[in-house]
Amino acid sequence: MHWNWWLWGLGAVLLFWSIGAYNRVMQLRNEIAKAFAQLDDALTRRFAHGDLLLERLRERLPSEQASLDALAATQADAKAATQAVRARPYAADPVAQLAVAAAVHGAALTRLVSLVEHQAELNADPELSAAVDELKLIERQRAFSRQVFNQAVTAYNAAVRQFPTRVLMSFVGFSEARSL
């Protein structure tokens, strides 16, 4: 009879610990989603300004159509990858695809900005110059949002890796998230 109480007590402790660990990991997972929402906003603005620059430069740089088409393709890939991450920002595979697409798109945007800044007639256009400045601001905000996202992922992964939480998380199907 005495052992019965011990078993019930141990079962209650394990149950409450499991509930607490699960809730903690879910809270950290929700932090990843909130951080991605901020990053998604910056990416959406980046895409909008990229479209605006593409539109303006297609008219002004007919000799650079191949480069502009390549930028448009990288932007389409980055938009698709972002869309895939929106539903589950804690899933590793879509985030990995977004990391690659965003890096390629960022490099293409950097080349575009460099092109605008090094051509005097383009740099003299106040609207185009303002659009480039706005894009640079958006890039800084995107970098900060990416850092916040990566910090949320790091905190989540640390919680998921800890023993004995790791055992519980593998049992309920939670896996590690991926940074950008």
Residue type, 52: L
For residue 104 the two structure tokens come to 């390629």
In a domain, 179, yes or no: no
Up-side HSE of residue 177: CA atoms within 13 Å toward CB? 28
Say how many domains are in the chain. 1
pLDDT at 132: 86
In a domain, 29, yes or no: yes
Give first-to-last CA distance, the chain, whole Å. 55
> Could you state, in chain order, the average pLDDT of each consecutive group of 10 residues for the chain (180 residues)?
81 88 92 96 93 86 85 94 94 94 92 82 82 91 96 95 84 86
The CATH number that applies at residue 63 is 1.20.1440.20
Q: Which domain holds residue 78?
A: 2-172
Please give the C-alpha separations between residue 140 and each of 41, 133, 146, in angstroms, as whole numbers. Answer: 13, 11, 10
pLDDT at 169: 82
Dihedral over alpha carbons 84, 89, 90, 95 (to 10 degrees) = 60
For residue 87 the two structure tokens come to 């539903």
